[in-house]
Amino acid sequence: MKVLKFGGTSVGSAESIRNVKEIITNQPGSKIVVLSAMSGVTNELVNLVEYFKLGSKSTMNEIMERLHQKHKNVIGELFPDSEAKNDTLAQIEQMFGQLQEVVSAKYNAELEPVILTFGESFLTYIFSKYLESGGVNNTLLDAKDFMHVQSLENPNIDIVSARLEETLRREIRSEIYITQGFVRIDRFRNINTLKRGGSDYSATIIAASCGAKEVQIWTDIDGFHNNDPRYVENTTALSHLTFEEAAELAYFGAKILHPQTVQPVKDRNIPIYLKNTFTPKAAGTKISSEVRSTGLKAISAKDGITAIKIKSNRMLMAHGFLRKIFDVFDKHQTAIDMITTSEIAISLTIDDIRNLDLILNELEGYGEITVEKEHSIICIVGESVIEDKGIYRIFELLNDIPVRMISYGGSKNNISLLVDTRNKIEILKSLNEKLFSNRVQTVV
């Protein structure tokens, strides 16, 4: 069994959907296909939720009409056969009627994920019928039957596995199963989501649950690059990364992969392949436990970082001071990304500021507090990266650009720099020149 996941841009048009069909049917053996909503649809549904909160019926109707027309247009392009087209349109009409019922009710926060997951339901139904109309047998699975994920951080694979096995046993056997990414059932048995970009995570949870041979994540870029191609020219695709390297890059800003994707398959040693839907013959990136080389591999950046400094003479030789500080963040369920300490000060970073005011109120009792927002973490990644002979050049940045914090040691694969976001692009370009340009590359 293989698990193939296709993102929103991969299924964003009728032409793209035809392309996905070719990719799937050209691969032999059993497979579970995990699909996102069409590109732009989830954004529209997010807007729908916002206007639902405000009770703005006219704007909601406009959004619904745009979504309706988008899916009708795709169906019209995909189905030359009028009977298959009419059957598909009729079901989509019924689903839009269900969505209309939801947004016609009184607003309730529990309805938000119900609304947001309609995009995946629309697309998976259309895609299943499209395959069927072309003579490709497949079985459409409802992810809500088996994606019972109570904890986003630590999904219980055994629960998902048991429910998936039960679902597959009662459905018609097929070489191709199609299901929705992004959606889950939470610990309250409510429809919920794996957060934006969570279809990658869906794919690896499913792969771990069924003991898949491999996971393929198809997107619109040919694998991980050694720097962010949105800001830096002449970046290079990496042929291979370890699970640890990929996890570091994803967590620290590489947009190609959801940050938690690696976790479910790492211990089960199920490789992940990142592939480009629009150039399927390109090698892409393989993510596995195999270490093909050591040293520098790639650079990524994570925005939206807030730095907090706690300065206090009470820290000097004080036992238990750090534990008290960490307890404040734990109490308010806020994770810490980076931390550095001196005899009388702690500097740390967070990317979730929802409870920042509450945290600061408690921290004021421990010393003088300084808060700096609009920062970015630049992450320099590679297996045993500190042993790379050229890595010393990162410190040349200090000559030209202020660096707020430097962290190494928490992972042998990562050196992190905290910088003002205004300097991020300049730093990415500078690091690219210092660390990659005019350098003999090892096999990656």
**Which residues define the annotated binding site for substrate?**
42, 120
Alpha carbons 385 and 408: distance in angstroms, whole number: 10
Name the DSSP letter for residue 414. E
| Listed residue (65, 267, 51) closest to 154, CA to CA | 267
- With vertex at residue 408, the alpha carbon angle to CA 403 and CA 411, rounded to the nearest 5 degrees, is 140
Q: Which helix (H) or strand (E) holds 23?
A: helix 14-25
- List, as residue ranges, the binding site for ATP: 5-8, 219-220, 230
* Residue 46: strand pairing partners: none
Q: List Cβ neighbours of 360 (8 Å cut-off, separation of 6 or more).
A: 308, 369, 371
For the residues of 93-108, what is the DSSP string, one character each? HHHHHHHHHHHHS---
Name the pairing type of β-strands 414-420 and 368-381. Answer: antiparallel
Sign of CA dihedral 288, 292, 296, 298: negative
Spatial separation of the C-alpha atoms in residues 184 and 195, rounded to whole Å = 10
Phi, psi values for residue 399, rounded to 5°: -70, -25
Rounded Cα–Cα distance for residues 261 and 395 (Å): 32
Contact (CB, 8 A) for 383 and 245: yes
What sign results for the dihedral spanned by CA atoms 164, 170, 174, 180? negative
Q: Can you say which residues are annotated as belonging to the binding site?
A: 5-8, 42, 120, 219-220, 230
CA–CA dist 76, 215 (Å, integer): 31
CA distances from 86 to 21, 64, 80, 81 (A): 21, 20, 10, 9
Measure the CA–CA gap between 47 and 102, rounded to whole angstroms. 15
Only one residue has tokens 């990658």, namely 200
The answer to whether 231 touches 290, Cβ cutoff 8 Å, is no
